[in-house]
């Protein structure tokens, strides 16, 4: 089976990395500069400590600007996220793949976490790239 290293540079080439204290406004700015991006990686001392997805940002924004709550079955899961006030609080637990991760494992992580883009880390935990859902779909359906 194909591994992450064979596909992760075909669509998305540059991971979007921020530090813990960055403001949501800056994150939105970075997403607009590189609109292929759907996940931002929070890094501390060179290591990944969290992920912020566009779906998360939509929920935070809905609550902050309009008091919109997610649908009932998601409230428990989402409450912590939508009431967060700092960028660090918004992030989800870190997720990642390595160049040696089989595509099936990467896909399962995406499906289980509703994440469309994952950081690729080396053996020391440093982010060396990112894996887009489009790269996975391409590897599966077009080859």
Window of 23-31, 41-49, 87-95, 121-129 that interacts with a second copy by CB under 8 A: 23-31
Q: Does 24 bind a second copy (CB under 8 A)?
A: yes
DSSP string, 8-57: TTSS----EEE-TT--HHHHHHHHHHSTT--EEEEEETTEEEEEEEHHHH
> How far is 57 from 70, CA to CA, in rounded Å?
12
DSSP 115: -
Footprint (CB under 8 A) of a second copy, residues 47-106: 54-55, 57-59, 61-62, 65-66, 68, 70-71, 104
Would you give the binding string for a second copy spanning residues 25-54, x where CB under 8 A is met? x--xx-xx--xx-x---------------x
Q: Does 18 bind a second copy (CB under 8 A)?
A: no
SS3 state of residue 132: strand
> How far is 125 from 20, CA to CA, in rounded Å?
17
| Residues of the shown chain interacting with a second copy in the complex, contacts defined by CB under 8 A | 11-12, 24-25, 28-29, 31-32, 35-36, 38, 54-55, 57-59, 61-62, 65-66, 68, 70-71, 104, 107-108, 110-112, 114, 116, 132-134, 136-138, 140-142
């Amino acid at each position: 089976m194909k591994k992450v290293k064979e596909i992760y540079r075909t669509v998305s080439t540059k991971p979007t990395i921020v530090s813990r204290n960055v403001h949501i406004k800056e994150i939105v700015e970075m997403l607009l500069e590189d609109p292929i991006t759907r996940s931002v990686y929070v890094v501390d001392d060179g290591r990944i400590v969290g992920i912020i997805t566009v779906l998360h940002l939509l929920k935070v924004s809905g609550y902050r600007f309009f008091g919109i709550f997610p649908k009932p079955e998601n409230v428990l899961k989402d409450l912590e996220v939508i009431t967060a006030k700092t960028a660090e609080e918004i992030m989800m637990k870190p997720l990642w793949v390595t160049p040696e991760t089989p595509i099936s494992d990467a896909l399962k992580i995406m499906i289980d976490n509703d994440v469309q883009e994952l950081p690729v880390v080396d053996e020391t935990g440093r982010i060396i790239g990112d894996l887009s859902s489009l790269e996975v779909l391409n590897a599966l359906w077009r080859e």
